[in-house]
Amino acid sequence: MKKILSMLTMLCITVFAVANIASAHVTVSPDQVPSNSYQEFTFRVPTEKTIPTVKLKVRVPSDVDVSLIEPVPGWKYSLEKNKDGKVTNITWTAEGKGLSSTEFGEFSVMGKVSPKAKKIEWKAYQTYKDGSVVKWIQEAGGDNPAPVTKVVKGGAEGDGHNAVTSDNQGNTAAKDAGSQLPLYLSIAAVIISIIAFIISLAKKKK
């Protein structure tokens, strides 16, 4: 019986480890904002490998005018701009060891959302210490989906200072939790199946 319990424990650990890896993506928050508003966008970056993340590059969509960058201790940033002075790319580079396999980082910017924006797709490029790059640029459902912010209709054009209300923030949090529910249910189903299988084997041996 001890051997069976040991096998069950290892299987559970493996299932949760795989689930955590599968759900670890570069994300952006908030995931919904009003058009024609000033917003803070935060990119959360996990390290999925055993080597550190040392660089993050984010392409700024045409529907957002970035004006401010929040400093991150241990990281420096550089900006690329077009001929009109609009920020088109932001690159954060680690000055020290970077983000290890047990860490994540958050990188924030302030910017104005265009009155005509419908969806903001942030293409991100995550570089590891060995020089490998993970491109978070795919459509939703892909292995490496780009972080996306949905845009809803905001205030009158020219107002430009709308903010996400507490209700919207609550809805966003609820959506984040709800989006993980199928994953948790799947994990639970797999674990229950494994337990039933092992119990069945144990009964046959008696």
Task: CATH number of the domain at 130, please.
Answer: 2.60.40.2230
- The answer, yes or no, to whether the previous bond of 71 is cis (omega within 30 of 0) is no
Distance separating alpha carbons of residues 101 and 47, to the nearest angstrom: 5
Quickly list DSSP for the chain: -HHHHHHHHHHHHHHHHHHHHHH---EEE-SEEESSBEEEEEEEEE--SSS-EEEEEEEPPTTEEEEEE---TTEEEEEEE-TTS-EEEEEEEESSS-B-TT-EEEEEEEEEEPTT-SEEE-EEEEEETTS-EEEE-BPTTSSSBPPEEEEE--S-TTT--B---HHHHHHHHHHHHHHHHHHHHHHHHHHHHHHHHHHHHHHHH-
Percent of all residues in the chain with a pLDDT value above 70, rounded to a whole number? 65
Strands 104-113 and 75-81: what pairing?
A: unpaired
Task: Please give the pLDDT value at position 198.
Answer: 73
Question: In the numeric block, which tokens belong to residue 159?
Answer: 């107002």
Q: Cα separation of 82 and 87, whole Å?
A: 7
Structurally, how many domains does the chain consist of? 1
- pLDDT band, very low/low/confident/very high, at 9 (cuts 50, 70, 90): very low
State the chain's mean pLDDT as an integer.
Answer: 80
Q: Which residue has the tokens 């709308």?
A: 162
The rounded distance, in Å, linking the Cα atoms of 162 and 60 is 20
pLDDT (0 to 100) of residue 12 = 44
Q: What local confidence, expressed as pLDDT, does residue 13 receive?
A: 40
* Residue the block writes with tokens 């459902």: 141
Beta bridge partners of 134: 126
What percent of the chain clears pLDDT 90, i.e. is strictly above it? Answer: 60
What's the pTM value of the predicted model, to 2 decimals? 0.68
Stretch 141-151: mean pLDDT: 95
Give the pLDDT of residue 195.
73
Q: What's the pLDDT at 125?
A: 98
First to last CA, the chain: 11
**pLDDT (tens digit per residue) in 60-92:** 999 999 999 999 999 999 999 999 999 999 999
| Residue range 24-62, pLDDT digits in tens | 689 999 999 999 999 999 999 999 899 999 999 999 999
The whole-number pLDDT of residue 151 equals: 97
pLDDT at 154: 77
Decide if 23 contacts 91 (C-beta within 8 A): no
Please check the confidence at residue 180 and state whether its pLDDT lies above 90: no
* pLDDT value at 5 more than 60: no
Enclosing domain of residue 116: 2-202
